[in-house]
Structure 1
Amino acid sequence: MKKIRVLVACGAGIATSTIVVKKLEDLFAANQISVEIIQIKIAEAANKQSEADMLISTTMFPTEYSIPAIKGMSFLTGIGVDKTEMEIISAAKEILNK
């Protein structure tokens, strides 16, 4: 089975991305999707996007990306989590079906 590589970014690559990583691990496991999650600083995203299938960030995107880029702030606020989770799983399934 193909493994999806996901970049999880926040401002410093430490605090909020750590919270999101755990939630994403649970989300992908519940949907039986094999995933490798890599924590980064948002400033690293442009250089690392070629190594990944998807980017999820808890901060603003400073640029456009060639991979799906999803705002993950809802994982911290609790507002709109279901919508964000559906967007992530939908993007993952699209990637797997390529």
Structure 2
Amino acid sequence: MKKIVVACGAGIATSTVAIQKLKAGFEKRGLGGQVSYTQCTVAELPGKVAGHDMVVTTAQFSQSVDIPVVSGLPFITGLGVDKLMDDIVAKLGM
């Protein structure tokens, strides 16, 4: 089971959209059910990354963490979603 922490400015709106798009993308690739999600604000990220495999954020995040950080903006704009999902799957080694 891979664990992704999904963050946005307020921890509610765009991170919820990103999680929905992530779930749909993993389902489309036959990987549904192999990923769990934690939702938070960008400010909470440094304390949430432990035990996770990746960060997907829809807001600016410039701190250094020990796991891959991916911009989830394509999930919000709708542009480049398939490429982003391919990158996420590759970085997670799935």
Give TM-score, length-normalised by structure 1: 0.86
Which residue in the other structure is 2:12 paired with? 14
Partners of 1:6 and 1:78 lie apart in 2 by 20
Structure 1, residues 22-77: CA drift from partner, whole Å, max 9, x if none?
11111122223301111111111111111211100001113121101100001111
Which residue in the other structure is 2:90 paired with? 90
Secondary structure of the residue that 1:55 maps to in structure 2? Answer: strand
Partners of 1:58 and 1:30 lie apart in 2 by 22
CA drift at 1:84: 1.1
Aligned counterpart for 1:27 among listed residues 15, 25, 28? 25
Which residue in the other structure is 1:81 paired with? 81
Which residue in the other structure is 2:51 paired with? 51
Identity %: 37
Give TM-score, length-normalised by structure 2: 0.89
Secondary structure of the residue that 1:13 maps to in structure 2? Answer: coil
More helix per residue: 1
Partners of 2:38 and 2:88 lie apart in 1 by 15
Q: Aligned pair count?
A: 92
Secondary structure of the residue that 1:79 maps to in structure 2? Answer: coil
